[in-house]
Structure 1
Amino acid sequence: MTILSRGAHVLVFPFPAPGHMMPLLDLTHQLSIRGLTITILVTPKILPILHPLLSTHPSINPLVLPFPAHPSLPSGAENVKDLSPTAFPAIMHAMRQLHAPIIEWFQTHPSPPVAIISDMFLWWTNNLACQLGILRFMFSPSGVMAMSIIYALRRYPPDDANDPNGMIHLDRIPNSPNYPWWQLQFLYSTRYVEGDPISDFMRDGILANMASWGLIFNSFSELERVYLDHVMAEAGHDRVWAVGLLFPSQIDNNLPEQTSAPSGNNIVSWLDTCGDRTVVYVCFGSQAVLNNNQTKQIAAGLEKSGARFLWCVKEAPKGSAAEGGDHGVIPSGFDDRIAGRGLVVREWAPQVMILRHRAVGAFLTHCGWNSLLEGLAAGVPMLAWPMEGEQFLNANLLVDELKVATRVCEGAQTVPDSDKLARVVAESVGKKRGSESENIRPRELRMAALEAVKEGGSSNVDLDRLAVHIAHLAFT
């Protein structure tokens, strides 16, 4: 690790969603221990999330600015964990109103930052950085392949994007993947509604990200080398750093929504009673709330499978349109019927700890990037059910390229067949899957991930390179 002299000041600006914020907070931690001076910008309701980081690094200063009101958002929407991802564009648009307060803070600071590191959803900070005469580094909590495809859709729009089931061939992307258009539509940033301010704002976001001075990814070279090379070629420079895996357990365990949740001891105690690689862990991330038809079929599939399972269920948020309706309700009597063989958790669960437990043999996941990395780092084979956005791209990476996952279902509204689900779940922790040959590839990737973050590993070296690069800005 390279320890730098103090002096290079950086403004870090996360997007207020757990999947985006947690890896950027870990990057902030990594840069702080390498000697950089850091100010991190948050809104008031997000400030408690920083407490573990600030306690560890008293030199990191928070900049707290009020969350701007927006006509498309409910009151108090600054913490987006309980909002649908479809609300993200409005959140992004609202946060652009922080442009003027940031400039005022910068102009009055005795030693203002030489660079901004901001989330990919805050692309307007590239223009802000240019206005301030400093450099912007984009941070992507997503993978390099996903960013490559999203950028390609914007820069090289597909000729025929009218048929939802029509196949789109991405021949400019390494390995030339094919996707049905309905899986790419949400990512297609050129969609435009005349006169809509959010649509105007979204249109050029991806291009602004790629125009940033530097690009930082929560990935590692051994996982996405071909896509890192591709991004460098598209960007026309080598200021691209893969610094993953970033998922800070010390911060993850202290998120505000977890303060009233069980410590996880009950979960670990239950896992301790199970045999090695006999449990299927089922979790669809911090955003997805399944409808009752989906929940019913998942419950039936798990029950029919005969396998042990740990199922983390996200119930409809209080006050949301889904609360008390047709979302997130476990069938009556299910808990009693599966008692001893299965465990249903309706609150936060320590996912990293669960995945690393010897009892977990498979992971049924929505293929969010953080979950993907956590599964890889644990060496656990995955069952893929991508639901929206880049999750379809991540699923292709897991299933078709890395060969560490099996497709189970696709789509946020798709209702699985319980018999098929039962069969796949049973096989995932059956004798065939539990054999040494079936687990070689996940274990290889686990070792590669762990090596990347060690001293001298590719991600550790990239962190050093990034810190040195930023430090030099203070003297140019």
Structure 2
Amino acid sequence: MPSITAPSSPHVLVVPFPAQGHTLALLDLAALLAARGLRLTVVTTPGNAHLLSPLLAAHPSSIRPLTLPFPSHPSLPAGLENLKACPPIYAAVFVHALAALHHPILAWTKSQPHPVVAVLSDFFCGWTQPLAAELGVPRLVFAPSGVLGTAIPHSLFRRSVKPRPSNDAVGFPGIPGEPAYQWKELSIMYKMHAEGLVEARLGEAVKQNFLWNLESWGFVSNTFRALEGRYLDTPLEDLGSRRVWAVGPVAPETAVHRGGEAAVGAGELGAWLDAFPEGSVVYVCFGSQVVLTPPVAAALAEALERSAVPFVWAVGAGDEDGGDVVPEGFEAKAKRRGLVVRGWAPQVAALRHAAVGWFVTHCGWNSVLESVAAGVPMLAWPMTADQFANARLVVDEARVAVRACEGGVGVSPDAAELTAVLRNAAGGGEECRSVRARAKELAAEAAAAVRGGGSSCQDLESLVQEIRKL
């Protein structure tokens, strides 16, 4: 039901980062804020404006777009406005390019009869911190990752950690448990900066963006206390000791597919899954950014074939041509028990189908939360970004996942070892039974968090009240 917002309601400026996993989560949060009586203006560009359509339709009186031309940049191809399926180098370029929106946004904001009282922006949009300062309003940082996954890159930039060999460990003494990760497992954006793999001005722009976040009013994180309570109990030095409002999962339980035109409909996929027993199917997807190399896809295909588990493999979610990496003849061999979806698949619907028992995932945060909310245990196969931290969180701390392989972009797993992991998951060994049971428990805790009186609901209400005081 559309929200009705009074003209005198607090006005918040929302600035997403143009990558699917970042934008959609922030738009979900915007919907929650609008439903609680806030007025929001969401900055977008022509190539990303369509992503706002469901939000504008649901809240026509309280949310409006501010569509500005995407800033041109010599390192970006003409017309490229979203990071979908782009090489990692483009992330740093996008951070640098978007900062050029500062002055157009400032000019628009100063012309409005109802001034904004706060800026809410993605953590890759640290340039909005000086923008907010010019407007004389506080800035909230939206973290599309969990608290752990957000603290680690901020720690790296804050401490200016020096490069080291790929297998050397980097410790994080300011984070509870003092975790350590190998250099190769850390944020590729930080590694490109530290190793000089991007232009100095791009690297410095990225670093400054993260450091600006530490000057903010606080962080709003798409997480919940039952999952990351140990990182929420004490203000983290690596987040500038700022307050963290844990308001997730922000996506509605009935979330529809929003990543693009789906290659298969939820009804069609559900009908195919109906033929399989409860919990017997493995769902495989690596998100909107990862495109598997042919050797990695071949190892995965071999493991799926040798394990004999029923499966749905959404391949090429990040690239409509990604289906070409599927080995020739694989689908014919597996057609009775396997479905290959080239392009986008309705992931939320798939995970919530009774037949799906496991999720082979890159551990992107949105996929983690969707799996947690559905009560489906994960087979963790991290690739980059925050995914190694997320994998450790769900495997070692939350105990709702089993490691599928070591992971890493372009790193081919051992097909025999991956086969054994799939067979063990399907066979329901003692460890896997425990993980499945814990996944059901955490799903109930996630649902309770966002209901009235739940921890995330309370944090969201507290955030709205703080904004109203402005």
Question: Is TM-score (shorter-chain normalized) higher than 0.5?
Answer: yes
SS at match of 1:310: strand
SS at match of 2:24: helix
**What's the counterpart of residue 113 of structure 1?**
116
Scaled by the length of structure 2, what TM-score is found?
0.93
CA contact (8 A) 1:352 1:374 kept: yes
- 1:282 matched to 2:296: no
Per-residue deviation at 1:395? 0.8
Per-residue deviation at 1:172? 2.2
In 2 relative to 1, CA 99–418 (structure 1 residues): closer, same or farther, beyond 3 Å? same
- 1:371 matched to 2:367: yes
Q: Pick the aligned partner of 2:50 from 48, 66, 69.
A: 48
**What's the counterpart of residue 446 of structure 1?**
443
**What's the counterpart of residue 25 of structure 1?**
27
- 1:217 matched to 2:214: no
CA contact (8 A) 1:165 1:182 kept: yes
SS at match of 2:194: coil
RMSD over aligned CA atoms reads 2.3
Alignment of 1:7-86 (within 5 A): 7-59=9-61, 60-86=63-89
- 1:198 matched to 2:198: no
Show CA shifts across 1:286-335 (max 9, x none).
Answer: 111111111111111100001111100017747xxxx69xx842111111
> Aligned partners of 2:121 and 2:424: how far apart in 1?
42
Show CA shifts across 1:409-447 (max 9, x none).
Answer: 211111111111111111112132697544221111111
> Aligned partners of 2:252 and 2:88: how far apart in 1?
23
SS at match of 1:275: coil
Amino acid at match of 1:11: L
> Aligned partners of 1:123 and 1:238: how far apart in 2?
15
Per-residue deviation at 1:162? 2.1
Per-residue deviation at 1:167? 1.6
Scaled by the length of structure 1, what TM-score is found?
0.92
Alignment of 1:59-458 (within 5 A): 59=61, 60-158=63-161, 161-184=163-186, 186-188=188-190, 191=194, 193=196, 196-232=200-236, 239-248=243-252, 252-255=256-259, 257-258=260-261, 261-314=263-316, 317=319, 328-409=324-405, 410-432=407-429, 437-458=434-455
- Between the two structures, name the one with larger relative contact order (CA 8 Å, sep ≥ 6): 1
Per-residue deviation at 1:252? 4.6
Structure 2 spans left out of the alignment, 5+ residues? none
In 2 relative to 1, CA 244–181 (structure 1 residues): closer, same or farther, beyond 3 Å? same
Number of matched residues? 463
Amino acid at match of 2:88: P
> Aligned partners of 1:252 and 1:84: how far apart in 2?
27
Amino acid at match of 2:245: W
**What's the counterpart of residue 470 of structure 1?**
467
The percent identity for this pair of structures is 44
Structure 1 spans left out of the alignment, 5+ residues? none
Per-residue deviation at 1:401? 1.3
In 2 relative to 1, CA 405–95 (structure 1 residues): closer, same or farther, beyond 3 Å? same
In 2 relative to 1, CA 250–440 (structure 1 residues): closer, same or farther, beyond 3 Å? closer
In 2 relative to 1, CA 454–406 (structure 1 residues): closer, same or farther, beyond 3 Å? same
CA contact (8 A) 1:277 1:360 kept: yes
Amino acid at match of 2:13: L
CA contact (8 A) 2:170 2:181 kept: yes
